[in-house]
A and B are shown apart, each in its own frame.
Chain A
Amino acid sequence: MSNPLNSPLEVGMRVLMILVEAFPAHLDINRLVLLDHGLLHSADLNGPESLHPPIPVRVGELGVKRQHIEDGLHVMIRAGLAEMSPEDSGIEFWASESSESFLKLLESEYARALHDRAHWVVEELGAVDGARLRERMREISSHWAEEFEVMQHESGNDI
């Protein structure tokens, strides 16, 4: 394990928290991408304080997140903590029966904070329909422009 940050393990644990909160709902990867982004940048969605710093161009994370989440889910499925099956609407994922007691073993402050955010983001976005979900996605993506301006403004010169 060279770098735990953004590794399949870290992302997998985060996604597992979302799945456990959403249990017994099954979620597809698109929704997980958005929920994970919302979990980390909850302040952008008018939620609790973000866990990750509001770096400029953070929306760019969405581009690579999909692959990360897929890798993370594979780790969790191998560990028997998550399950997947193909449905009409695509491949869906859900938390397995052993997931909840496993997550209860995590005692760090950060794990607790993640848990709070996961709870919040599932309440907020877990059950919205596809159209509304795309709208929220657009809302987040529209941060692009202002994030970019903030960056210019902070560096004090034109890029």
Chain B
Amino acid sequence: MSLATQPHAGGGAPELIDFPVPVVPGSPAPALPGSPVPPAHRIYFYSPDEWEVFITEWATGVAVSYRQIKQLGGSGDRGVDVAAFKTDRGLEDAWDCFQAKHYDGSLTVSDAFPEMLKIFHGVVDAFYCLPDRYVFVAPRGCGPTLNRLLSKPTDLRKKFLELLDARGTATRQYDEQALKSIRELAETTDFSIFQSLELNEMLDIHRKTQYFAARFGTALPARPPVEQAPEVPAPSEAIYVRKLVDVYNEQDPASCSDVESVAAHAKHGPHLQRQREAFYSAEALRLYARDSVPDGTYELLQDDVYIGVIDTAEANHSSGLARLRAVLTQSGQLDLGAHTLISMSNLKDRQGICHQLANADKLTWVEVDE
């Protein structure tokens, strides 16, 4: 396959496409034993497809430091280019370009030259202004020749002009007039905009995303401490707290009519407080999961808890309290070892998940007809 890139289809402006949201695995990912493979080693051997997925995940980490990111041009068969905008004006103002195609070997000057031509050509045709940084990102990095040129912008410009004047294969898709304008532009351009991104720098960005632990099988980051449950239940707690109040009301109709009276109750007050703390603990786990594991991982765990306790909840119990206790006990006995998140959770979280399910109206302690 020739590595010479085509100019933009139809000679028109480059299209900007939204980044796809990285795919979520449909089942819990078990941590497989085996000697650990450092992330950099894995990336070194990525196939083009895997590389493309990795780039979309990495881009979510890049997006944090920019106003907006887009894919530049179509998603080819060798990876994508990331356009990262620093302002709302997109390509018309300051932006950085990450050239993230998949190359089988280390990047050489002959790989980089057509890409540099293309970016200059786009500026000459006024599709965009010159990016502040044009960064080469490749699974096997840059070769030593290109690396040394990138660290010496003056030499890089000299080499670029040499190649341009040699009129090699890469230049054939542009007409003479365009090449002349490219040359004029290149002569006045500071070539320090061309840089390369090392794998470890790339991993530092990826490490901050929620995909890192799942992709590289590393331990999950530490969990922040759980915040205290507030004195008065928040509106978001309304449903499961009402269900709990129904439970106490069934036990002691006289003194348990609403939350305030239950909270003051000698026996049921502490019980309610424990349930609310468990709920907050599970909420903290949910928020933690949002930042450290791929989307949907927490929902998989919730679903598994639901499957594990629903039969217990549907069985006949003498009272709502008996049902609640049976379900909470059952949730603690479930084998959830297949879930990565379980390594970061405790029994309180499991009980809290039951209350989250009650809050979502999936579990009820006191049947209306009981």
The residues of A with any CB-CB pair to B shorter than 8 Å are 20, 23-24, 95, 97-101, 104-105, 107
Identify 6 residue pairs between A and B in the complex whose beta-carbon atoms are under 8 Å apart, listed by A's number. A23-B145, A97-B105, A97-B143, A104-B199, A105-B40, A107-B40
CB pair A98 B145 closer than 8 Å: no
Known: A24-B145, A98-B106, A101-B199. 7 other contacts (CB 8 A): A24-B144, A100-B141, A101-B140, A104-B40, A104-B199, A105-B38, A107-B38
CB pair A97 B40 closer than 8 Å: no
Most buried by A among B106, B142, B198: B106
Q: How far apart are the CA atoms of A29 and B146 in the complex, in Å?
A: 26
Q: How far apart are the CA atoms of A11 and B145 in the complex, in Å?
A: 24
Tell me if B41 is interfacial: C-beta within 8 Å of chain A: yes
List residues of B (104-150) whose CB comes within 8 Å of A's CBs: 105-106, 108, 140-145, 147-148
List residues of B (1-51) whose CB comes within 8 Å of A's CBs: 38, 40-41, 44
Closest to A98 in B: B106
When distances are taken between beta carbons in the complex, the residues of chain A under 8 Å from B106 are 97-98, 100-101
Instruction: Tally B residues with Cβ within 8 Å of A.
Output: 18
CB pair A98 B143 closer than 8 Å: yes
Q: How far apart are the CA atoms of A151 and B29 in the complex, in Å?
A: 60
CB pair A99 B144 closer than 8 Å: yes
Q: How far apart are the CA atoms of A100 and B107 in the complex, in Å?
A: 11
* Total A-B Cβ pairs within 8 A: 43
When distances are taken between beta carbons in the complex, the residues of chain A under 8 Å from B200 are 104
Q: How far apart are the CA atoms of A16 and B44 in the complex, in Å?
A: 19
B195 smallest CB distance to A (angstroms): 16
Q: How far apart are the CA atoms of A57 and B44 in the complex, in Å?
A: 42
CB pair B38 A101 closer than 8 Å: no
Q: Which 8 A-B pairs have the closest CB atoms?
A: A97-B143, A101-B141, A100-B144, A23-B144, A101-B140, A101-B106, A98-B106, A97-B106
Q: How far apart are the CA atoms of A100 and B148 in the complex, in Å?
A: 11
Most buried by A among B143, B147, B200: B143
Query: With A104-B199, A105-B44 given, is the CB distance from A98 to B140 under 8 Å?
Result: yes
The residues of B with any CB-CB pair to A shorter than 8 Å are 38, 40-41, 44, 105-106, 108, 140-145, 147-148, 198-200
Closest to B147 in A: A100
When distances are taken between beta carbons in the complex, the residues of chain B under 8 Å from A107 are 38, 40
When distances are taken between beta carbons in the complex, the residues of chain B under 8 Å from A95 are 144
Closest to B108 in A: A97
Query: With A23-B144, A24-B144, A95-B144 given, is the CB distance from A101 to B44 under 8 Å?
Result: yes
Q: How far apart are the CA atoms of A140 and B108 in the complex, in Å?
A: 39
Q: How far apart are the CA atoms of A147 and B354 in the complex, in Å?
A: 76
Q: How far apart are the CA atoms of A104 and B202 in the complex, in Å?
A: 14
Q: How far apart are the CA atoms of A104 and B143 in the complex, in Å?
A: 11
Q: How far apart are the CA atoms of A20 and B143 in the complex, in Å?
A: 10
CB pair A101 B41 closer than 8 Å: no
When distances are taken between beta carbons in the complex, the residues of chain A under 8 Å from B141 are 100-101, 104
Most buried by B among A23, A99, A105, A107: A105
CB pair B142 A101 closer than 8 Å: yes
When distances are taken between beta carbons in the complex, the residues of chain A under 8 Å from B44 are 101, 105
A99 smallest CB distance to B (angstroms): 7
When distances are taken between beta carbons in the complex, the residues of chain A under 8 Å from B148 are 23-24
CB pair B144 A20 closer than 8 Å: yes
CB pair A104 B41 closer than 8 Å: no
When distances are taken between beta carbons in the complex, the residues of chain B under 8 Å from A99 are 144
Q: How far apart are the CA atoms of A107 and B44 in the complex, in Å?
A: 14
Most buried by B among A24, A99, A100, A104: A100
Q: How far apart are the CA atoms of A80 and B106 in the complex, in Å?
A: 12
Q: How far apart are the CA atoms of A24 and B143 in the complex, in Å?
A: 11
CB pair A105 B41 closer than 8 Å: yes
B112 smallest CB distance to A (angstroms): 12
Q: How far apart are the CA atoms of A24 and B147 in the complex, in Å?
A: 11
A24 smallest CB distance to B (angstroms): 7
Q: How far apart are the CA atoms of A44 and B199 in the complex, in Å?
A: 36
Q: How far apart are the CA atoms of A104 and B38 in the complex, in Å?
A: 12
CB pair A104 B198 closer than 8 Å: yes
When distances are taken between beta carbons in the complex, the residues of chain A under 8 Å from B145 are 23-24, 97
When distances are taken between beta carbons in the complex, the residues of chain A under 8 Å from B199 are 101, 104
Closest to A19 in B: B144
Q: How far apart are the CA atoms of A100 and B198 in the complex, in Å?
A: 11
